């Protein structure tokens, strides 16, 4: 299968891997999961493969499905590091790959998020992003004690199964949209030339080029300006995972990238249509959303097929692994065929979730990338640009508060 378009390829990292038994594999280094060296090894491997970015999973509860409590199971990793701080540690040991940590909007103040991601953009020299996440579980809310989020009732679960959201979850998504709006405004609250740094005249900033954002919404009230100058990218990348109407609308209102989860070829056109419809409903202007398809991968290995690896891991965990995304088992060449087929159906890029982080990420870099390069659909070097440029987004982003900027 051939294509004239380059493939955009990224990975989503989650501890030892996306399978709950991944930490028990021989190469998984369970004693090092919470060390800097483990994460730097993973991400420098991804950078060696010239990938667009790594996203780093995070939540405010122990790993697992927050809507389906799994009791006190101790046969899986029950802890995680802070994704943003992991990304910050990775900036001095990487040079080109994008770094996109997950940060919840539900229990995190947008002023803090704005400052943290802007700082990451500075320390990475323009490679930062943010995966927006809504924390809708009662368990996460109890860590903070500032707000009540009810436990899901049977009616709520029925709504979720039918593709709808309970009212309180819809409110959390509306709040999230406000939070991202505030963060973006705070990034613009310093004009690019607000820093004068004139020692002789003792003027570090031009105060006229710092702006109050004076945001008043249904959920948030933020005056600004930020205390951090505008990030090197102007607007770092914002991404969101979405499966249905309300999350699609959140992505359409706030994000540059949306991660989607088709389970087969037939779902790709319908999901792309839903994304386009969401953009129309929220009257999105400017750049359209870039759509990345998520796929969990278990590659063939020496003496064992990907299917056999997955079955063995399932046996080890005592349950069949299930995912919101397509679960791929097979060879790198077979996955290359699959990616090109979905690309021809309209998917802009792909975010692979390694079933076992060390093993499957290694196969992505050592086998899948060369396969794509052989087909002339993947880069052989990083271009000299920031993360926005790497993803094909405009790199000169107007500041909404600067004089002469057209009103949005």
CATH code for the domain of 24: 3.20.20.30
Is the predicted pLDDT of residue 70 greater than 80, yes or no? no
Decide: 348 and 6 in contact? Cβ < 8 Å.
Answer: no
Mean pLDDT for the stretch of residues 53-82: 77
4: pLDDT strictly greater than 80: no
Q: Please give the pLDDT value at position 66.
A: 43
- Looking at residue 236, its pLDDT comes to 98
Q: How does the average pLDDT of the chain come out, rounded?
A: 92
pLDDT value at 392 more than 60: yes
Is residue 405 a part of any domain in this protein?
A: no
User: Which range has the worst mean pLDDT, 40-44, 137-141, 240-244, 350-354?
Assistant: 137-141
What predicted TM-score, i.e. pTM, was given to this entire model? 0.94
pLDDT of residue 203: 80
Query: Taking residues 338-353, what's their average pLDDT?
Result: 98
Per-residue pLDDT tens over the stretch 125-162 = 999 999 999 988 888 888 888 888 888 787 777 777 66
Q: What is the pLDDT of residue 65?
A: 46
**Residue 126: which of 40, 230, 7 has the closest Cα?**
230
The pLDDT, as a whole number, for residue 162 is: 66
Judge whether 14 lies within some domain: yes
Considering its fold, how many domains does the chain have in total? 1
Interatomic CA distance for residues 42 and 39, integer angstroms: 5
Q: State the Cα–Cα distance between residues 393 and 298, nearest whole angstrom.
A: 31
Reported as type and span, the H/E element at residue 130 is strand 129-133
Domain annotation covers residue 231? no
pLDDT at 142: 85
Among left, alpha and beta (phi > 0; psi -120 to 50; other), residue 314 is alpha
Q: Is residue 228 part of a domain?
A: no
Domain ranges, residue 56:
9-134+236-390
Residues with Cβ within 8 Å of residue 2, at least 6 apart in sequence: 340, 375
Asked whether residue 75 is domain-assigned, the answer is yes
- Residue 95 within a domain: yes
- CA angle, 34 as apex, 319 and 66 as ends, to 5°? 40
Q: What is the pLDDT of residue 69?
A: 53
Which whole number is the average pLDDT over 380-403?
96
pLDDT digits (tens, 9 = 90+) for 365-384: 999 999 999 999 999 999 99
Q: Could you tell me if residue 199 is inside a domain?
A: no
Percentage of residues in the chain with pLDDT exceeding 70? Answer: 95
Confidence of residue 71 (pLDDT cuts 50, 70, 90): low
Is residue 200 domain-resident? no
């Amino acid at each position: 299968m051939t294509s004239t378009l380059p493939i955009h390829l990224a990975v989503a990292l989650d501890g030892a891997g996306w399978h709950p038994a991944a930490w028990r594999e021989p190469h998984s280094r369970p004693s090092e999961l919470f060390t800097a060296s483990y994460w730097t090894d993973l991400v420098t491997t991804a950078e060696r493969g010239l990938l667009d970015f790594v996203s780093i999973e995070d939540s405010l509860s122990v790993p697992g499905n927050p809507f389906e409590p799994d009791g006190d199971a101790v046969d899986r990793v029950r802890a995680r590091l802070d994704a943003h701080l992991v990304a910050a540690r990775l900036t001095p040991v990487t040079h080109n790959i994008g770094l996109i940590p997950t940060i919840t909007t539900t229990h995190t103040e947008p002023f803090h998020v704005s400052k943290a991601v802007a700082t990451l953009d500075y320390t990475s020299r323009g490679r930062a992003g943010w995966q927006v996440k809504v924390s809708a579980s009662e368990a996460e809310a109890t860590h903070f004690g500032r707000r009540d989020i009810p436990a899901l009732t049977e009616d709520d679960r029925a709504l979720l199964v039918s593709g709808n959201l309970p009212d309180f979850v819809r409110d959390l998504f509306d709040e999230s949209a406000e939070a991202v709006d505030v963060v973006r405004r705070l990034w613009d609250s310093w004009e690019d030339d607000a820093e004068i740094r004139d020692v002789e005249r003792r003027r570090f900033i031009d105060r006229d080029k710092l702006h109050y954002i004076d945001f008043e919404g249904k959920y948030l009230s933020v005056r600004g300006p930020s205390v951090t100058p505008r990030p090197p990218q102007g607007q770092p990348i914002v991404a969101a995972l979405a499966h249905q109407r309300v999350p699609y609308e959140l992505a359409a209102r706030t994000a540059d990238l949306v991660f989607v989860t088709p389970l087969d070829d037939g779902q790709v056109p319908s999901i792309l249509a839903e994304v386009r419809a969401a953009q129309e409903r929220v009257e999105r202007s400017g750049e359209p959303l870039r759509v990345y398809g998520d796929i969990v991968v278990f590659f063939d290995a020496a003496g064992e097929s990907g299917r056999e690896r997955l079955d063995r891991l399932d046996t080890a965990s005592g349950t069949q692994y299930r995912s919101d995304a397509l679960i791929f088992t097979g060879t790198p060449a077979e996955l290359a065929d699959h990616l090109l087929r979905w690309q021809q159906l309209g998917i802009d890029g792909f975010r692979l979730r390694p079933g076992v982080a060390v093993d499957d990420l290694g196969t992505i870099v050592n086998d899948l990338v060369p396969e794509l390069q052989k087909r002339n659909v993947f880069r052989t070097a990083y271009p000299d640009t920031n993360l926005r440029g790497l993803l094909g987004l405009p790199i000169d982003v107007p500041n909404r508060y600067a004089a002469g900027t057209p009103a949005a």
